[in-house]
Amino acid sequence: MHTRRSRRLRAALLGAILAVAPQLLPAQSGLLEWPRVTVAAHLDSTGALHVRETQTIRFTGDWNGGERYFDLRGGQEVALHSLTRLDSGETGEGRALRAGDLARVDEFDWTDSRTLRWRGRLPEDPPFDRVLRTYTLVYTYQQLLRFENGKGYSFDHDFGIGARMSPIEDYSLTFTMDSVWATDLPMPLRVEHIVVPADSVIVLTVPLRFLGAGRPSGVFHGATSSARLAIASALGVFALVLLIVHFAREAQLGRFRRIPDHRSITPEWLKEHVFSMLPEVAGAAWDENTSAAEVGAVLARLVQEGKLSSEVKTEKLWIFSNEILHLKLEVRRNVLTEHERALIDGLFQKHEDTTDTQRVRERYKKTGFNPANLIKPHLERALEAATGAGTKTSARRTAILAVTAIACMIIGAMQRVEEIPMSLLAVFVSLFALVVATGLATAYRHAASIGVITALLVVVPVSVFAVAFAAFALYLPLQAGFFTWLGIALWGAMLTQSVANSAYTRHAPERIALRQRLMAARRFFVEQLRSPAPQLQDAWYPYLIAFGLGRSVDKWFRAFAGTAAARSTSALGRTASSGGSMSSGSGGWSGFGGGGGFSGAGASASFASAVGGMAAAVSAPSSSSGGSRGGGGSSGGGRSGGW
């Protein structure tokens, strides 16, 4: 009984195993094997490689037929002359396959520019069962050789048939070449009856010398060395001439003139060169920028002239404090100058004569507000009237160079599409140099005075590009046509011109000289604020605000006012009156008490800080709204198999 049950149990287990065995065993329907591959290749006098490749393939499973992938790169082309199926594995009559749409057996077609397929079985036919098929492919490679500039030619080709799951059991190769080619290797080269492991390559590398007349027509040589040298030299000459012209112009404008020594400044010098203009105009001129400092200078001057009265109140919230500036208009608006009226109309409501920092911010919290924009055009016109209009640079030459460069690159790409990556790489890499160089050039342009050596730093990024281009064109083994090289060089010239345009000074010589004098005056004020007893006057406060030194004044007051203010003298003996003229006065320097003679100001409340809050821009609220194949250094190879 026990034995009978055991037998029935074993039979049931065996049946279960047999039922699932097909799912557990590895499938055999996708097996391809290469018992033999024979290749005969000949390099002709033009540099074209003629190949006769015979593959014996063992098909197992439901394959449609065979496939050959040609790994082409760098402008290489392949032309198929014939595809033949032999009636037996090695000999016998051949049957030429027909070009078609792969609908019938013994038809072939290209699925893309590199993949060739041929049909050996219809979908309704039984699967292959270790069926041997032998195919002979006759084809020619063009543009296979590489011209090594000054070093002859290089043949570097993979004669394998690419990735395979199975080894080639018997592989033979014969390589010959025309007599116009010479090499130190023995010819012909033969490899006979070797086993090639799966996924292995068969790379043949041969250095060659051409003994024929002229150059082989089947090899791309690119622009000649002399042409590349001429293009690189022209780019260098262009950059050098542009640099010489630029620095000659800058020197003529006085850009390299040294800023006057602040230690030599006298009361008469300040009267002539600083206090002869409104503080806000001086502030806009020294740094070429109209911002909160100039707005604060206007307000401080109007308070000083009695057209405004001010009071600074400190509001505290827990451990934080906020200084609020309160202003009252003491005169009718029609007596104000144009830019004063524009600023007052922006800060005060139409029929009101009082305002404060909080009311201004509340008024513009939805639209945004920058008071500096109200006075900027007026200050710029005042500066042009005083110093003359400058010159504007033209982008015409830059545009012409850019269009011509792109046109040349397009022509080069039309002649040889493989040159597109080279052009794109040069363009995109150079854009990084352009960003850096433009930033340096803009900083250079805004500097009041700059040394020649420092100015040369502006051209460093462009010079690096020019040197890199020269090395790229003359020494690297890269082959490209004349138009591609010319396009890249013109693109470099465009970059150079663009950077030069960014560096060109737009102002007249008088404006440049004015900025240099104002820079000297600012340095004088900075040095004085480092002293416990500075030679300053309270009446100059709007000028210090315009030069962005309001916080420095507050810092001085906190550090020295308690002990040093009493010792302060009117060493310069003069104060500034409204309108920018100088008048005698005892005045002296008190550090403004955090605001000086401005009402409501004291040691606990800073007029400079408060007026800065009033002059700062009000930001508007932001809105929101809802298969390529890799390859190594060798040509050829690819893949052969089934589909």
Residues 6+ apart with CB under 8 A from 492: 235, 239, 430, 462, 465, 466, 469
Residue 302 covered by a domain: yes
Mean pLDDT along residues 486-493: 88
Q: Which of 151-160, 287-296, 593-602 has the lowest mean pLDDT?
A: 593-602
Question: What secondary structure letter does DSSP report for 28?
Answer: -
Which of 452, 476, 503 lies at the terminal end of a domain, its last residue?
503
Confidence of residue 400 (pLDDT cuts 50, 70, 90): very high
Phi-psi region of 242 (alpha: psi -120 to 50; beta: other; left: phi over 0): alpha
72 shares its domain with 193 = yes
> How many domains, the chain?
3
pLDDT at 592: 58
67 shares its domain with 197 = yes
| Closest listed residue to residue 251, CA positions, set 449, 533, 538 | 449
In the Cβ-directed half-sphere of 445, how many Cα atoms lie within 13 Å? 21
234 shares its domain with 289 = no
499 shares its domain with 516 = no
pLDDT at 317: 66
Q: How many residues are present in the chain?
A: 643
Residue 491 covered by a domain: yes
Q: What is the pLDDT of residues 518-540, one digit of tens each?
A: 999 999 999 998 888 888 888 88
For the chain, percent helix, then strand, then coil, each to nearest 5?
45, 25, 35
The answer to whether 597 and 300 are in contact (CB under 8 A) is no
Confidence of residue 597 (pLDDT cuts 50, 70, 90): very low
Residue 383 covered by a domain: yes
Q: Which of 77-86, 133-142, 248-257, 356-365 has the lowest mean pLDDT?
A: 248-257
In order of 312, 534, 552, 554, 560, the CA distances from 591 in angstroms are 16, 9, 10, 7, 9
56 shares its domain with 187 = yes
Q: What is the pLDDT of residues 90-131, one digit of tens each?
A: 555 788 999 988 889 999 999 988 899 999 999 999 999 999
248 shares its domain with 278 = no
Q: What is the pLDDT of residues 191-240, one digit of tens each?
A: 898 898 887 888 888 888 899 888 888 787 777 778 888 888 888 888 88
Cα radius of gyration (the chain)? 42
481 shares its domain with 531 = no
Residue 622 covered by a domain: no
Cα torsion 382, 385, 387, 390: sign: positive
pLDDT at 236: 81
pLDDT at 60: 92
Phi-psi region of 222 (alpha: psi -120 to 50; beta: other; left: phi over 0): left
| Angle between helices 550-564 and 607-615 in degrees, nearest 10 | 170
In order of 84, 302, 386, 547, the CA distances from 293 in angstroms are 87, 14, 21, 7
Average pLDDT along the chain: 79
Does position 249 have pLDDT exceeding 60, yes or no? Answer: yes
Mean pLDDT along residues 622-641: 54
Confidence of residue 55 (pLDDT cuts 50, 70, 90): very high
Residue 343 covered by a domain: yes
For residue 188, say if its preceding peptide bond is cis, omega within 30 degrees of 0.
yes
Q: What is the CATH number of the domain that holds 37?
A: 2.60.40
553 shares its domain with 457 = no
Residue 639 covered by a domain: no
Confidence of residue 473 (pLDDT cuts 50, 70, 90): low
144 shares its domain with 209 = yes
Q: What is the pLDDT of residues 297-312, one digit of tens each?
A: 999 999 989 999 988 8
Does position 630 have pLDDT exceeding 60, yes or no? Answer: no
More confident residue, 497 or 9: 497
Query: Which residue is it, tokens 């032309």?
Result: 79
| Closest listed residue to residue 143, CA positions, set 419, 411, 409 | 419
Helix locations, 25-170, DSSP H? none
Does position 413 have pLDDT exceeding 50, yes or no? Answer: yes
Secondary structure class of 30 (helix, strand, coil): strand
| Closest listed residue to residue 548, CA positions, set 602, 593, 615 | 615
542 shares its domain with 584 = yes
242 shares its domain with 268 = no
In the Cβ-directed half-sphere of 187, how many Cα atoms lie within 13 Å? 16
Residue 563 covered by a domain: yes
89 shares its domain with 201 = yes
Domain of residue 86: give its range: 30-221
Residue 559 covered by a domain: yes
